[in-house]
């Protein structure tokens, strides 16, 4: 049982991330971005797609593949992506009508719903937790309970993984203020250097960032997840409930295009990376084409562990939410003070469009992927 001090700390920890995510300032976006009338999707067929990342990466090849292969076009949809950086900014943009569909983590959706926003998760994209602790192979740290007296490196002290780490520490019976030290180490080489030089005893970040961190270095790390979050899905396609009601064909078509692109990516990720580099040159990070491709594929492979690549398992479908997982998210959010009020699960997610998402010929997509051809 938590002590009064630990409970108070828990509230402060989660309050900090809530404030950071929900009060973020939405940046201006030019060239048909979120502020333009075209981007607002007023014709019902133009969708401004808010992405909770600063740029595309190997963890979301679906966007470039769906564009290059004409999957969105086949649904009669024009997609205008805007890269907003965080889930908080995406959900804010949904509230203002500046984007119609976006990517977000469930915690931010639940926080917004708790405050009265009619946001709904409509496509279960990343079906498992993707935040991990990483340590050197010889480390004695194997769980959050082992972090007492240790230093944890985080990308930024206000970032989501930092808050999840603090919640995990509280869950292990420790006080994140007194028992564990948190330091900002950034990402990539600086973070890895902090770990190797023992300025940090453990790191916590997303699977794809760990993949990028170790790509090309040959460095091996050992990973473990925060306790109690293994079944909590991570990323969803989200929209306002009102927009989903008014635009069911567009919502279903967007998700089907995304599902097709997921099948394609699983069958031929190298072709998907080439499409991403061609459509989004700023996604090419590396000293050479070969290095950039290796890094992107490393991100893809890391995220594939959390995605249902290729043919979904027999009892699951693309985009579907297990009700039990949504209920677990709500319970987790209440336990750690992310939300104050009770939330009815059906008010924050829908499986209404799952049938349409999966209404396509998987074999045809795989055949196209095998050829690597672009329409």
Residue range 315-357, pLDDT digits in tens: 568 999 999 999 999 998 888 777 898 899 999 999 999 999 9
For the purposes of burial, counting CB atoms within 10 Å of the CB of 219, is it exposed (0-12), middle (13-18) or buried (19 or more)?
middle
**Whole-angstrom Cα distance, residue 103 to residue 140?**
36
Contact in structure between 154 and 214 (CB atoms under 8 Å): no
So what's the pLDDT on residue 216? 64
pLDDT band at 22 (very low <50, low <70, confident <90, very high): very low
Q: How far is the CA of 253 from the CAs of 169, 250, 318, 370, in angstroms?
A: 42, 5, 13, 24
pLDDT band at 34 (very low <50, low <70, confident <90, very high): very low
Residue range 263-285, pLDDT digits in tens: 999 999 999 999 999 999 999 98
Ramachandran quadrant class, 150 (left: phi over 0; alpha: psi -120 to 50; beta: rest): beta
Most confident of 19-28, 229-238, 346-355: 346-355
Write down all domains in the chain, each with its CATH number in brackets.
21-128+233-280+308-371 (3.40.190.10), 130-224 (3.40.190.10)
Question: Considering the chain, what is the average pLDDT of its residues?
Answer: 84
So what's the pLDDT on residue 32? 34
Question: Which residue did the predictor score with more confidence, 310 or 273?
Answer: 273
Residue range 156-211, pLDDT digits in tens: 886 668 877 888 898 899 998 999 999 999 888 899 999 999 999 999 998 888 88
Q: In what order do the strands lie in the sheet with 78-83?
A: 78-83, 46-51, 101-104, 235-240, 119-126
């Amino acid at each position: 049982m938590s002590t009064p001090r630990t409970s108070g700390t828990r509230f402060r920890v989660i309050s900090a991330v809530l404030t950071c995510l929900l009060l973020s300032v939405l940046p201006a976006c030019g060239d048909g971005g979120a502020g333009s009338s075209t981007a607002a999707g007023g014709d019902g067929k133009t969708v401004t797609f808010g992405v909770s990342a600063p740029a595309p990466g190997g963890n979301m090849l679906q966007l470039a593949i769906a564009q290059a292969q004409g999957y969105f076009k086949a649904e009669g949809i024009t997609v205008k992506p805007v890269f907003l950086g965080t889930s908080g900014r995406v959900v804010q943009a949904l509230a203002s009508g500046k984007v119609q569909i976006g990517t977000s983590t469930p915690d931010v959706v639940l926080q917004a719903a708790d405050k009265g926003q009619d946001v709904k998760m409509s496509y279960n994209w990343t079906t498992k937790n993707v935040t991990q602790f990483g340590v050197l192979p010889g480390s004695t740290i194997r769980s959050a309970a082992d972090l007492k007296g240790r230093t944890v490196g985080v990308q930024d002290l206000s970032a989501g993984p930092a808050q999840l780490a603090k919640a995990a520490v509280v869950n292990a019976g420790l006080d994140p203020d007194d028992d564990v030290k948190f330091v900002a180490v950034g990402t990539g080489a600086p973070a890895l250097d902090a770990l190797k030089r023992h300025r940090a005893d453990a790191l916590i970040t997303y699977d794809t960032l760990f993949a990028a961190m170790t790509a090309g270095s040959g460095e091996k790390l050992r990973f473990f997840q925060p306790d109690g979050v293994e079944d909590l899905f991570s990323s969803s396609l989200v929209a306002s409930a009102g927009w989903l009601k008014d635009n069911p064909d567009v919502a279903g078509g967007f998700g089907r295009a995304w599902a097709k692109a997921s099948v394609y990516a699983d069958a031929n990720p190298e072709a998907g990376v080439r499409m991403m580099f061609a459509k989004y040159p700023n996604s090419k990070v590396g000293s050479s084409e070969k290095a950039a491709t290796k890094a992107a594929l490393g991100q893809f492979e890391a995220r594939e562990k959390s995605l249902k690549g290729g043919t979904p398992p027999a009892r699951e479908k693309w985009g579907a939410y297990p009700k039990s997982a949504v209920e677990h998210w709500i319970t987790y959010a209440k336990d750690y003070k992310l939300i104050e009020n009770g939330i009815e699960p059906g008010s924050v997610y829908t499986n209404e469009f799952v049938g349409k998402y999966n209404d396509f010929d998987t074999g045809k997509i795989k055949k196209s992927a095998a050829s690597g051809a672009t329409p």
